[in-house]
Amino acid sequence: MMRVRGAAIVLAMLMAALAAAVAATVFADQQRWSRTVEYRRDSVQAEALVMAGVQWARQILDDDGRRSTIDHLGEPWALTLPPIPLDNGEIRGEIVDAQGRLNVNALSGANAERQRMRIAALFAQRGQSAASLDAIADWIDADSVARPAGAEDAYYAAQSAAGLAANTPMLRVAEIAAVRGVTPQILSAVAPFLSALPAGTPLNVNTAPPEVLAALLDNPGQEKVAQLVADRAKTPYQSIADFRARLPEGVALADDSALSVKSDYFYVTVEARQGATTARARALLQRGGTEWPLVAWQVVE
């Protein structure tokens, strides 16, 4: 009898332990499920916020285009949106003039040699070799004839990760990472000063950073470029003739083709945080005509 009672007690203890283990497992599963739902909710909200931020940028640029005949860094669109606190997170954003950068797609087509000289000057001042410019031009042009230091299908097909030359204009500057001779070091050094726009799109001298201005001019020197930027900040250029007239003494501009004081293409970056999740949207907007700026491309990460 004592043995039966002892076995019953042991069995009861085992059942209690099993019940406790099941309860703990169910509780842990509920906690994981709750965290998963919360994370997914925050992720969806963060993505919705950054997409709304791109729409905000379209509105800003549309308003500016209706009010102004030139574009410069003193306008509202050029002000970086600082982190704005939100319930359970924050949002920030910025608009950058894509036409304040050197256009890699201009390496092929009309005025390609002039653009090559400008981009080569940029590479040099950033401490990088310009040897890959032939290969970048080959990547963009429509033919299959390789330039002296370039590369076409035969080169890319022979690589371990076989491929072909794009033979079409780039949509994003990051594409040059796939080009022969372009290393991560080169890309990080020059990418902030390059754009990928339709060939023939002019460069805005009102928004070009000092590095790009230096690439446009003949032997300007850092002090003269700084003088140029300071003067521009006080009074933006009203025309390319105005830009030429206000160049510092001793600074020359050999060719003012494909230069402008107004822009139609802008890069937008919006970042949002909700709880422990973050999202980022990057887009290229095209402004023009009476319609809202078009989204040329958009990436949400």
pLDDT per residue as tens digits for the range 210-251: 999 999 998 788 999 999 999 999 999 999 999 999 999 999
CA 243/CA 52 separation, integer angstroms = 37
Task: Print the SS3 string covering 230-272.
Answer: HHHHHCCCCCHHHHHHCCCCCCECCCCCCEECCCCEEEEEEEE
CA 219/CA 216 separation, integer angstroms = 9
Residue-wise pLDDT tens digits, 84-109: 998 888 999 999 999 999 999 999 98
**Confidence band, pLDDT 50/70/90 cuts, at residue 122:** very high
- Taken in order of first residue, the domains within the chain and their CATH numbers are 100-260 (1.10.40.60)
Task: Give the per-residue pLDDT at 29.
Answer: 46
Instruction: Say if CB 266 and CB 97 are below 8 A apart.
Output: yes
